[in-house]
Amino acid sequence: MSKLSPACIAVGEWLKTAVAQLHGVSDSPQLDAEILLHAVTGMHRARAYARPEELLTREQLEDLQVVLARRQRGEPIAYITRVQEFWSMPLVVSPAVLIPRPETELLVERALELVPLNQPSRVLDMGTGSGAIALAIACARPHAQVLAIDVSDAALAIAATNLTNLKVRNLELRRSDWYSAVVGERFDLIVSNPPYVAADDPALAPSVAAFEPRHAVIAGESGLEAIERIVSQAAGHLLPQGCLALEHGWKQGTEVRGLLVRAGFSRVRSHRDLAGHDRVTEGHR
């Protein structure tokens, strides 16, 4: 690519070169190259493949080289484009927040089964990050009042941007170190996708370790410290018949169920993700 004049590089040629450079870096080099092309030029894949001879401008090529280099260094593509889709919602993301994952949609699915469609209810989302879970619930359950909390001001700023972009009116954002700012408040449902990775977990993906916020990923030596804090005080913040539902690591189901049982919860059970692993566990008052 460096041997060619920027004015002479066509879209198809850039895609071919970018895909080759992303092999070994990304599990989906073709898709990543297409996403980067769209982020910089606004060109959708259909147009790119229908008109591969279309020339890139010098400015476009320079911008593409910058984002391609970032992806080659392992930076998640969502941070490069600042957008991640979750529950069919385009969410703004930044390195201040964890990138929403598809497996977290299981927690949303279970929450929507627990929150009545046309009845008022109160929902608390703890450690909201980008606001993904809270926004999905609030959009699908307009009669619910959703409170989303996070200890990070930077994360709350991202969540506020998403709230504004999606024009959600039944969601409040609040700074809170777990339950510190909800003293005396009770909810029908508490949900959380807390940090649940042990500090020395060898399975932690290098890109997560290098780019995503450590406080949103790591939960002490055991990986259960955040979940233990949430569970220990949850009963005092739930209404009668209320429920606590937590996302956790795929090997943590047994331990999380034990925590809930020892805390006095009933009807404790786990729900499996598409890979067949325990991923979400709930308990009821």
Strands 83-86 and 89-92: antiparallel
Q: Residues 6 or more apart from 38 whose CB is under 8 A from it? A: 44, 45
Using one digit for the tens of pLDDT, what is the confidence trace for 142-174?
Answer: 999 999 999 999 999 999 999 999 999 999 999
What dihedral angle (degrees, nearest 10) is formed by the CA atoms of 32, 37, 43, 47?
-70
Q: Quick one: average pLDDT of 88-104? A: 98
Give CA–CA dist 240/121, Å, rounded.
12
Residue 122 pLDDT class (50, 70, 90 cuts): very high
In the chain, domain spans: 6-74, 95-284
Q: Which helix (H) or strand (E) element contains residue 232?
A: helix 225-234
- pLDDT reading at 30 higher than 90: yes
pLDDT above 90 covers what percent of the chain?
A: 97
Tell me the whole-structure pTM to 2 decimals. Answer: 0.94
User: What is the rounded average pLDDT for all residues in the chain?
Assistant: 96
What pLDDT is attached to residue 8?
72
Contact (Cβ atoms closer than 8 angstroms) between residue 237 and residue 190 = yes
Tell me the backbone φ, ψ of residue 280, rounded to 5 degrees. -130, 130
Protein fold of 6-74? Helicase, Ruva Protein; domain 3 (1.10.8)
Q: Determine the CATH number of domain 95-284.
A: 3.40.50.150
